[in-house]
Chains A and B, each alone.
Chain A
């Protein structure tokens, strides 16, 4: 036998540079292998806290993103009509000159004429700082159309939510339950966690109308009726409370269950919590029977007490909860039909949760001291953990549904305990420790504070003196009072309508608003191109920054081309959406591991330059010169407060390098690079559970600069700020809602979780099928489907129909169907899928492409067979006949209710391509090459 001699130790690369991935929002650490200065191979960084060496398909395909033919090459000025794709390349000097000429007069006279919205921005603490310095109230990122319900419900309820805010205790959990998690979210950590717990025999339950991805490997799959998760959860709450399967000690010690609710119906404080003069919630101490602030040493809060005063009974939150949730309204038999899960199965699932939480409970031998000064010798474990994402939040009842899930977690005593759900620094952080929204505009001056935040009552709404909305997206108004992330999906339609006012310039970053990031895509395109009687565009100016030739490029007047993620500086900051673990604080950087070969600049560096040209205070030195040369300069030298900068690692202390609080270190980025692109500081043993109440954690967090002083707090089963809005709707207070919103506010702003059905408003009687989307694990946002490797995995997107609907409509795989909603109609190819809720259809999101975009051939399957469901979804609900148009959003937060879409389906003759087929746009970058066959360095 003649075996050839192989070189078994070929040289792998010349150099490995470690940076942070940006192929989705996970922000994994990557090793970029270079040969001859070019990217040759990308793998996961084993030392990195997020991915510990693994990397998903997107991450490994990053090399094709750096090579992508769709990369923009130079600044562009529109020369044809909007939407034509006709541009000329201009210099950066000219581009920045145009932007300055447009923006300077706005700032001087009325900064609110600028609307600055950044889509999948990972530098929100920076972009918001820029917008604040410009002085416009009109800033937000994409949270409002993504998952604000999840984030806001978590923060209002327990001071943190899933994903960036927290994670299951993968090392100890024995039952992991997922609700509505699409395949792409928290991509690698969830896969790693599921692999880890399955390896030791722990079980996974998936609640999702669609059985793919994580739900495909779940031990039990619950194919729930979309939009009914809240009712299902509250039914389990009913079962668990009725059986006493709740953690009574935990509820008494760490939640507002024992807090007393004002029972005086005539009082303007009816329904608010009783507080002392310092504003501390009052409880009755079982030891003394007396009213006392909750946080006093030795207090044993009573869950069942009633405080009687002046003939009025004030009862505990727990009593209100018992009254509501023990009602037969929530019995499994009452809800089974609506949720599509049998009563027996609801009971079995609740019983399994009870069994694991209480029969498989354990203790860690770790002493800790709570905020009342009491030392506990062990840590009580409750090994049931949960995770949820957009599937439950992108409904008009999403906020209350997310709240219901957190209430379930808290009743079990499984938050911040071993085996349960754990926060990641800087969380836990209650809503009261976050900023409030700011909106006061002064000509030629910065805004009066941060744009986004958490409201605690009507006084915090972003309203002008005449009561009209201060923000173009109408965030923090009576229509959606708790809209903590803004409402990016309403910006273009409001700007077009001039409601609440007209703007001059729309400035956007990484947001494909003329395609997959908007509801009502066709309508949005019309708004972007609409002209007034004067022949001028209704939205006068549009500036857009993107790295790629996306569909949105064609609709802007000025394009500022961004770099790819391997050609730029970034910081994954504790001030923003950090990458911490439950046991550690962590942050990270991106740095230019290669230099751009095009005339492009990192968007954040461009903002530093624009900030200087516009003389924005935060971006200008006293002598009027530009303060930060580029984003890297800002990352190192900016201090938000003394000693607190964008990066927490490698700061300068009195005796050398330090973490958390510390002065500017000019070598900070080099230190990060030497450390693999990230920084980790571990939480000491004994401080790493019970964080909201653990004195050792609170002290550590103060030392790290996460808080300025210890901030222990109670979990809010009862969310008092919601009650303040109800009180206003009932007529209390000076700031009053418009009459047409009173009843809705009273009904929806319930301080205890409720469930209501969004289906009737979406005309479910005529459109009985729910249509959903999710992104695949191997693709993220729109840019994945022009990646030469990834598009071979998902090059087009059929509409998946359950077996029942296929048969009813006489459909076979490959047939076409007309899908009609109250708003529109599409005709698309179908495929049968059995593992699917029988009244639900779904497709992959953001695979469909506009002809001419992304440097793809006009005959690419993404453009001919791919499609968007967005054409079926309107930003407004169908007319109800009351003369008003209501937003297709959650009435509490304004979150876009993507998943409330109702449709009907009928077989259609096969068209030549998916309908509606839109005409091609001219590509500003030409078309990609035919064949790829290459080795770097050969």
Chain B
């Protein structure tokens, strides 16, 4: 069994905005590209051009349809990767100490040289955020791009996770949740950022911003005639309209 640190100096993580995520998978593939080439073993693909291709991904986007009791159905895109939980069950379950949570920033990592590929951590994670690499037989997971965020070989502006850097809609934000003045803490406070499955007691660091209310101009939204004054007629027919036009031009 492996122990978690009592506390971490910083709590680095992501805010993911479900109101703007268009489900484009840019984060998924950017992550695949960076992490194939960087931290630990490459992310492999088996049967890559065959009938049942299957690869290792540290971040995936799921799409869910929501059908409110009233009003139009909605489609929510839901990116999911490791949430770097404060009480990470994937760490405490690890028999070799390979899974650990960093004291300095709270990032949960797998030390691949100690990983025996038993898969217990993946079973323990309630979010399904870990994937066993089929070729290397080691557990892979989001590293929060630990090899980017401090990397002195990168320009300072690029020292953020690959998924954040690439997100076209700006739906992903990276920062320190231990700092109440950080961009991510403020966004979470302003937009009602939520924990994923808080009942699991894992205290996830990553937060999700809920979609804003939708379809306020539809029949199901109730009083949609509230805007009717904006369409108050100036005339009922062409002749009256031309008279109004003439008066309006005169005033200009």
Q: Smallest Cβ distance from B122 to chain A, in angstroms?
A: 19
Which residue of chain B has the shortest Cβ distance to A324 in the bound complex?
Answer: B238
In-complex Cβ contact of A857 among B50, B114, B219 (8 A): B50
Complex contact A54–B228 (CB within 8 A): no
Chain A 856-872: CB-based contact to B (< 8 A → 1; otherwise 0): 11011100100000000
A793 within 8 A of B: yes
Chain A residues near B215: list those with CB within 8 A.
219-221
Q: Smallest Cβ distance from B124 to chain A, in angstroms?
A: 19
Complex contact B135–A931 (CB within 8 A): yes
In-complex Cβ contact of A40 among B37, B171, B237 (8 A): B37
Complex contact A932–B48 (CB within 8 A): yes
A855 within 8 A of B: yes
A7 within 8 A of B: yes
In-complex Cβ contact of B29 among A211, A220, A789 (8 A): A789
Chain B 14-25: CB-based contact to A (< 8 A → 1; otherwise 0): 000001111111
A935 within 8 A of B: yes
In-complex Cβ contact of B100 among A3, A35, A857, A935 (8 A): A3
Complex contact A834–B65 (CB within 8 A): yes
Known A212-B75, A249-B252, A789-B45; judge A217-B36 contact (CB<8 A). Answer: no
A42 within 8 A of B: yes
Chain A residues near B224: list those with CB within 8 A.
344-345, 348
Complex contact A930–B29 (CB within 8 A): no
Chain A residues near B74: list those with CB within 8 A.
211, 216, 221, 835
In-complex Cβ contact of A191 among B24, B76, B233 (8 A): B24
Known A350-B231, A351-B227; judge A211-B75 contact (CB<8 A). Answer: yes
Known A303-B245, A792-B53, A931-B44; judge A345-B218 contact (CB<8 A). Answer: yes
Complex contact B5–A57 (CB within 8 A): no
A53 within 8 A of B: yes
State the CA gap A349–B228 with chains docked (Å).
10
Chain B 29-64: CB-based contact to A (< 8 A → 1; otherwise 0): 110111011100110111111111111010000000
B185 within 8 A of A: no
Complex contact B25–A778 (CB within 8 A): yes
A194 within 8 A of B: yes
Complex contact A216–B225 (CB within 8 A): no
Known A41-B37, A778-B29; judge A217-B20 contact (CB<8 A). Answer: yes
State the CA gap A935–B34 with chains docked (Å).
10
Complex contact A6–B147 (CB within 8 A): yes
Chain A residues near B211: list those with CB within 8 A.
217
A12 within 8 A of B: yes
A182 within 8 A of B: no
A195 within 8 A of B: yes
A777 within 8 A of B: yes
Chain A residues near B235: list those with CB within 8 A.
242, 244, 326
In-complex Cβ contact of B65 among A63, A183, A835, A929 (8 A): A835
State the CA gap A351–B244 with chains docked (Å).
19
Known A4-B111, A195-B171; judge A220-B153 contact (CB<8 A). Answer: no
List A residues 505-529 near B (Cβ within 8 Å): none
State the CA gap A849–B130 with chains docked (Å).
32
Chain B residues near A778: list those with CB within 8 A.
24-26, 29
B162 within 8 A of A: yes
B103 within 8 A of A: yes
State the CA gap A302–B216 with chains docked (Å).
39
Which residue of chain B has the shortest Cβ distance to A927 in the bound complex?
Answer: B49
In-complex Cβ contact of A8 among B34, B146, B165 (8 A): B146
State the CA gap A861–B54 with chains docked (Å).
12
Chain B residues near A46: list those with CB within 8 A.
157-158
Q: Smallest Cβ distance from B183 to chain A, in angstroms?
A: 12
Chain B residues near A183: list those with CB within 8 A.
22, 24
Chain A residues near B48: list those with CB within 8 A.
788, 928-932
A239 within 8 A of B: yes
State the CA gap A933–B217 with chains docked (Å).
51
Chain A residues near B230: list those with CB within 8 A.
243, 245, 351-352, 354-355, 359
Q: Smallest Cβ distance from B63 to chain A, in angstroms?
A: 8
Complex contact B23–A213 (CB within 8 A): yes
State the CA gap A214–B242 with chains docked (Å).
39
Interface centre among A61, A69, A205, A223 (most CB of B within 10 A): A61
Complex contact A198–B19 (CB within 8 A): yes
List B residues 205-235 near A (Cβ within 8 Å): 211-212, 214-219, 224-225, 227-228, 230-235
List B residues 114-168 near A (Cβ within 8 Å): 114, 135-136, 146-147, 150-154, 157-158, 162, 165-168
State the CA gap A10–B147 with chains docked (Å).
7
B189 within 8 A of A: no
Interface centre among A58, A198, A348 (most CB of B within 10 A): A348
Complex contact B248–A933 (CB within 8 A): no
Chain B 237-252: CB-based contact to A (< 8 A → 1; otherwise 0): 1100110111011001
Complex contact A345–B217 (CB within 8 A): yes
Complex contact B150–A792 (CB within 8 A): no
Interface centre among A2, A244, A791, A861 (most CB of B within 10 A): A244
Complex contact B19–A835 (CB within 8 A): no
A369 within 8 A of B: no
State the CA gap A861–B34 with chains docked (Å).
27
Q: Smallest Cβ distance from A238 to chain B, in angstroms?
A: 10
State the CA gap A51–B170 with chains docked (Å).
12
Complex contact B29–A60 (CB within 8 A): yes
Complex contact A12–B30 (CB within 8 A): no
In-complex Cβ contact of B51 among A220, A303, A859 (8 A): A859
A188 within 8 A of B: yes
State the CA gap A342–B47 with chains docked (Å).
50
Complex contact A344–B171 (CB within 8 A): no
Chain A residues near B72: list those with CB within 8 A.
211, 221, 223, 835
Which residue of chain B has the shortest Cβ distance to A795 in the bound complex?
Answer: B53
Known A55-B26, A935-B42; judge A196-B65 contact (CB<8 A). Answer: no
Chain A residues near B146: list those with CB within 8 A.
6, 8
Which residue of chain A has the shortest Cβ distance to B67 in the bound complex?
Answer: A834
Q: Smallest Cβ distance from B49 to chain A, in angstroms?
A: 3
Chain A 1-37: CB-based contact to B (< 8 A → 1; otherwise 0): 1111011111110000000000000000000000100
Known A12-B154, A220-B216; judge A777-B46 contact (CB<8 A). Answer: no
B84 within 8 A of A: no
List A residues 276-324 near B (Cβ within 8 Å): 286, 300, 302-304, 318-319, 322-323
Chain A residues near B234: list those with CB within 8 A.
242-244
State the CA gap A933–B136 with chains docked (Å).
9
Complex contact A192–B168 (CB within 8 A): yes
State the CA gap A249–B54 with chains docked (Å).
61
B73 within 8 A of A: yes
Known A12-B151, A43-B162, A354-B230; judge A2-B97 contact (CB<8 A). Answer: yes
State the CA gap A40–B119 with chains docked (Å).
29
What are 11 A-to-B residue pairs whose CB atoms are below 8 Å? A2-B97, A42-B33, A183-B22, A196-B170, A211-B75, A217-B169, A303-B249, A304-B246, A347-B225, A778-B24, A930-B46
Supply 14 further A-B pairs (C-beta < 8 A) apart from A9-B147, A12-B154, A241-B241: A54-B167, A55-B168, A56-B24, A60-B33, A61-B32, A191-B22, A205-B217, A216-B74, A216-B75, A242-B233, A243-B230, A252-B249, A834-B65, A933-B136
Q: Could you tell me which B residues sit within 8 Å of A by CB distance?
A: 3, 5, 19-26, 28-30, 32-34, 36-38, 41-42, 44-55, 57, 65, 67, 72-77, 97, 100, 102-103, 109, 111, 113-114, 135-136, 146-147, 150-154, 157-158, 162, 165-171, 211-212, 214-219, 224-225, 227-228, 230-238, 241-242, 244-246, 248-249, 252
The 6 nearest A-B residue pairs measured at CB:
A928-B49, A351-B227, A834-B73, A933-B44, A195-B170, A191-B168
